[in-house]
Structure 1
Amino acid sequence: MKKVHLIQADITAFAVHAIVNSANKSLLGGGGLDYVIHKKAGPLMKEECVRLNQEKGGCPTGQAEVTTAGNLPAKYLIHAVGPRWLDGEHNEPQLLCDAYSNALFKANEIHALTVSFPCISTGVYGFPPQKAAEIAIGTILSMLPQYDHVAEVFFICREDENYLIYKNILSNIDDPNIQILIS
């Protein structure tokens, strides 16, 4: 049975096979969580991001790329590029859904048994937290059963607001194929 966990913690200190980074298109670091991850992961991860930027021009919104996790407690970093919230009329919900689904796809592709997700796009990108949580949870719960390798997903919320939103949504889900654990 697949497991989905909700934890309030620092995603950069949580040991899993793959950590999802809420990245920007350049993959070269930005603000918020992306800044923290780049700072803590170190030079090897940064070199891989520079290479991806040079070879592919970064990563389009809604897509994801994989690098080493460097000094973080994971083997891989999956850099998922979420959308900036403009007004909800510029395909932002679909692009956020794509960011989560492509990150989960990449996690399965690299055979990550455990993967942690942050609240993509809710920080400096301004996506409304309630809507973002609904998209994140809906996307992961609908796609997780399809994948052979990913056994556990951790939604890691640092801020109280996001944690409470996720907790409220997850508390009302009853899926016989997925065990939901709230810490």
Structure 2
Amino acid sequence: MKSKYNVILFILLITFWIILTPIINFLSVLIGAVISLLIVLYSRDIAFKDEEMPDYTLINLITYLKFILILIVEIIKSNISVAKIVLNPSLPLSPCFVKVPVKFKNDVLNVIFANAVTLTPGTITVDMQEDGFIIHALTKEAAEGMTNSVIEQYCRRLEDGGIKNN
């Protein structure tokens, strides 16, 4: 089962390499393949266990793509919000920490949620605890918006959409 994930990871990495390579020729693809193989070999023992990995079905992949689109929209909205704060001459910051009582049944989703929060400008996941996350926000409004956020709701959809429970 693990070899299936290694093959998928290799294909994703080599595809990403080809997309980013300005000139596609045999040598550049070969270099990308070697680097991708080294990454797969290096990361195979530090990845999640098989029972923690999501099932790769068409429905799950569509759900993940929707999540990525939602995340991009949230990142854009947060960028605009942070830009308004920074460009305001009075710099209306009210930084604070908030504990968000969110816990998913699966460690993969906990990591996805924590990383999604950190990717959105103005918030960062500081700690992941047994009963939730400690998040730092630039404003109190952003901190209050973390409870029952769109990201959390969509992670719940991902949880219901087929990620195996521990």
Higher strand share: 1
Higher helix share: 2
Larger radius of gyration: 2
Normalised by the size of structure 2, how large is the TM-score? 0.24
| Higher relative contact order (CA closer than 8 Å, sequence separation 6+) | 1
Normalised by the size of structure 1, how large is the TM-score? 0.22
